[in-house]
Amino acid sequence: MLDSRTIRTAFGRFATGVTVVTCAKDDGLPHGATVNAFTAVSLEPALCQVTLTRQSKACGYLEDAPFAVNVLSSAQLDTAWHFAGRPQSREPEWAEGPTAPVLVGNAATISCRPWRTYDGGDHLIVIGEVVDLQVGDEDPLVFFSGRFRELAAPATGVHWAGSMDCPELGWFDASTTFTALHAHKHRAAS
């Protein structure tokens, strides 16, 4: 049986962006929670997903409620900590959003109406229908291996060109063929 530390370590090897999911509490005041379990789900209709631990206050506020996904910029490290349970001396700046309160200074802001919720074990999977998008020029804040990080400068001289995956070439042309994949061989632990 796998222990939770091993699972967390393996999942942590996948680099993610950092978001703060925001909504209004029952009294109308804004609330947020730092979440790195965010993903796009669908383009038609436009859907995205956030996954929150059932123990979080935000989980209770999101039941059939509109929300916003604030994709944090690299300049918002204090904001990430603030909504992860370590309040900072300088409060994050709020603004009124199309569906829910939003934060100021994001790399992107995705405003959603509730779509569906699903059982995710000790988490709740919340899917929202995207109704508004705001995109900035800021680099995103990144989370990897249990730490917040910033993107490195782009590699020079390296480009998609020459790769069959180049998005500028339309991904794959009609003549593309694929080599069958070999089964993954499990390495013995050393």
- pLDDT at site 68: 97
Give the pLDDT of residue 88.
Answer: 84
Taken in order of first residue, the domains within the chain and their CATH numbers are 4-154 (2.30.110.10)
Q: What angle do CA 127, 32, 116 make, to 5 degrees?
A: 15
The confidence score (pLDDT) of residue 166 equals 64
Mean pLDDT, 10 residues at a time, the chain of 190 residues: 83 82 92 91 94 81 90 95 88 96 97 93 92 95 83 69 61 58 53
Annotate 124-136 with b (16+ C-beta within 10 A) or e (fewer). Answer: bebbbbbeeebee
pTM of the model: 0.77
**Long-range residue pairs from 26-33, CB within 8 A, at least 24 positions apart, any chain:** 26/61, 30/94, 30/100, 30/101, 31/57, 31/58, 31/61, 32/58, 32/70, 32/83, 32/92, 32/103, 33/57, 33/58, 33/83, 33/84
Q: Using an 8 Å Cβ cutoff, are 28 and 77 in contact?
A: no
